[in-house]
Structure 1
């Protein structure tokens, strides 16, 4: 342990059984809401009241995230979730998959006209397959093998030590862009793949990504994560300057990703140590730097509490709405740093983030969490409409209850394993 330990008077919510009960209860609420997203070809986006809009179609991102989340719930012993995991796996092996060229469409049978293949989506398919395998779904091994094959053949660049971004349907016309976001979720998927396959190369690849994106770029940018690069990994600081509120590639820096990266860096450190590697000392240093930078520049920066969505290169707010996933990641990362260091300041932030989520994001009238608040912390829908996402919030209530390694679904399996009484 490093840093100042939490003193006995202050205590820690992470050690409080009632806090764990609160997290578990909130998780059950989230799951109950999300089950309505099931459609014939996978899982679709729900509106703000928890209904499927007219014409709702299955999407690969939502289907993979739901499959992963319901797999976590199943291994925790929550009834009714296994069939949802099986449904998700079937959809990812069926209508969401390109049977001719391999890989996955963004929308079932590419009904939106988008036939491109994105690393971001394929990372979530790999994560879903890894979790479904832990849940005991019979066809999960087939899904896992297909996801690994596509990542190995098309997305992973041994030369770059990172993921390529996207291709046309037939794997031609590679996009002249590299993204931190897709590589961040690639890192998450690689941690899960290492646990699912027993192949430590996935940990080595995750370290290569982190060393490039975080230790090589963010650490030299006051720990603000650079999101957009050209094919040669040169930063593109003006990318999407005319579309700053893009839901996936916004202009400037995204503090929510700084939190998410910080947590993944700590998971990587723990996974490397668990596998017998000598984890670099800079992993903890960089995780602390990412967290501190995001807190310093994004929290309460415009006179109202909460974390803004994006900042410019002078760390001034650009897109001021508060998004639920940003706060979910902030709370989960504070918990991870508290576990890793024992420093009381992370307990302070952990409580602050959950207090804000409880007061502002949790929708006790219609269910789930508001996905977006405006700059005055009133529910809004300028960036994300409805409540399509279970993944971020459900992980946020699960992560404080387990250690930093193995990956989350595997950790929940270990938590749920009770030795037999002979």
Structure 2
């Protein structure tokens, strides 16, 4: 597999653009530090403050730990303690000491004692990044996360992740989700690098074959999100709750972009490992990107990518979410590196111009997480500014190779820097 140097002038090769990305990353990190709670990390409001009722959540703690680990790996002071705090929280109040696995909130204070694949994928990702950062307790956390995934979530028969269980693992949800399997794919790429075990790349490809090369390909490369236990599409799932933050009705263009990027990372990882990489990984990535641009961008007469579409490609939830645009720009950069095609330069610049003018909040910090259909700041789906992970990765991915995974790539760059 080759990567290409574009014949035209690309922002990816422009030192000033690289410096801009790095500076924006530092701004995002400085804002996110305030999320620290005694039992992990919580959700910041729009001003960067922890609300009085803030509680530690596994999702945000794992994402913050992963993000702060990548900051520490780069040699940015002030993040080692935050990584250690996240590792301790994931090994303590967020973990189920009786049955194993992780609750959604510390000591399941939200009343939810279930175990979700989505959250466990992020725990594995956080642990792998903390191992690369060489932080205490990280390897034990990684071993624990791998054990839980192997024991409960990974289905060898299906070649995918089971969705969720009750607390003691005896009752399984009769549902399969593309979203949890997408983040499992992301985590598996990192696990392959940290453990040097290629079974994670085998598993990642099996997930991609099912979710993208089978189901999305049959739906014009718009991702089918919801399935029953036998992987039959549930096209009307959450029709009455279309703006759900994790399981919205219809198809989600942001996930199409995210999958496109992951397919290219998987292709590069398999080549790097000396494994066969089917040609459809790159072609499917291009189709995912192109078709989600076609159907997601400017579909209601205003710039930006809508949150969801129905099965006739009509906008359902017209809000613009920041993570969608982060993933779109990251996918454009990945495709630009992979193909050298100038159309991806066009989209890459367009997405960053939109983010700069609409999402980046230079008054109160970080990014607005959501815009309404008129591109005004909104909080209908996501309140506040809890998410560092998406924007931080969006400013890192254009500066890194397609493989290895981000934390490992940053570690190698640090090792190869001249002294």
TM range (shorter): over 0.9
- Name the SS of the counterpart of 2:416 in structure 1: coil
- The 3 A distance-change label for structure 1 pair 78 and 419 is closer
Q: How far, CA to CA, are the matches of 2:151 and 2:2 in structure 1?
A: 41
1:338 aligns with 336
- The answer on whether the counterparts of 2:4 and 2:337 sit within 8 Å (CA) in structure 1 is no
1:168 aligns with 166
1:365 aligns with 363
Task: State the Cα deviation string for residues 164-195 of structure 1 (Å, max 9, x = none).
Answer: 00000000110000000000000000000001
1:158 aligns with 156
- The 3 A distance-change label for structure 1 pair 4 and 277 is closer
- The answer on whether the counterparts of 1:5 and 1:343 sit within 8 Å (CA) in structure 2 is no
- The answer on whether the counterparts of 1:2 and 1:343 sit within 8 Å (CA) in structure 2 is no
Shift, 1:418, TM fit: 2.8
The within-5 A match list for 1:17-416 is 17-416=15-414
- The 3 A distance-change label for structure 1 pair 378 and 197 is same
Q: How far, CA to CA, are the matches of 2:76 and 2:5 in structure 1?
A: 35
Q: How far, CA to CA, are the matches of 1:218 and 1:418 in structure 2?
A: 40
Q: How far, CA to CA, are the matches of 2:414 and 2:309 in structure 1?
A: 41
Q: How far, CA to CA, are the matches of 2:71 and 2:4 in structure 1?
A: 34
Shift, 1:94, TM fit: 0.2
Q: How far, CA to CA, are the matches of 1:152 and 1:391 in structure 2?
A: 25
- The 3 A distance-change label for structure 1 pair 337 and 224 is same
- The 3 A distance-change label for structure 1 pair 79 and 258 is same
TM-score normalised per structure 2: 0.99
Shift, 1:227, TM fit: 0.2
1:7 maps onto 2:7 in alignment: yes
Shift, 1:4, TM fit: 9.7
* Deviating 4+ runs (over 4 angstroms): 1-5
Q: How far, CA to CA, are the matches of 1:370 and 1:340 in structure 2?
A: 30
Unaligned runs of 5+ in 2: none
- The 3 A distance-change label for structure 1 pair 221 and 136 is same
Task: State the Cα deviation string for residues 128-183 of structure 1 (Å, max 9, x = none).
Answer: 00000001112100000000000000000000000000000000110000000000
Aligned-residue Cα RMSD (Å) equals 1.2
- The answer on whether the counterparts of 2:333 and 2:344 sit within 8 Å (CA) in structure 1 is yes
TM-score normalised per structure 1: 0.98
Shift, 1:295, TM fit: 0.2
- The answer on whether the counterparts of 2:71 and 2:79 sit within 8 Å (CA) in structure 1 is yes
Alignment size in residue pairs: 419
Q: How far, CA to CA, are the matches of 2:6 and 2:126 in structure 1?
A: 36
Task: State the Cα deviation string for residues 338-383 of structure 1 (Å, max 9, x = none).
Answer: 0000000000000000000000000000000000000110000000
Shift, 1:7, TM fit: 3.2
Q: How far, CA to CA, are the matches of 1:333 and 1:344 in structure 2?
A: 14
Shift, 1:413, TM fit: 1.1
- The answer on whether the counterparts of 2:329 and 2:394 sit within 8 Å (CA) in structure 1 is yes
Shift, 1:417, TM fit: 1.9
- The 3 A distance-change label for structure 1 pair 3 and 279 is closer
Q: How far, CA to CA, are the matches of 2:417 and 2:149 in structure 1?
A: 37
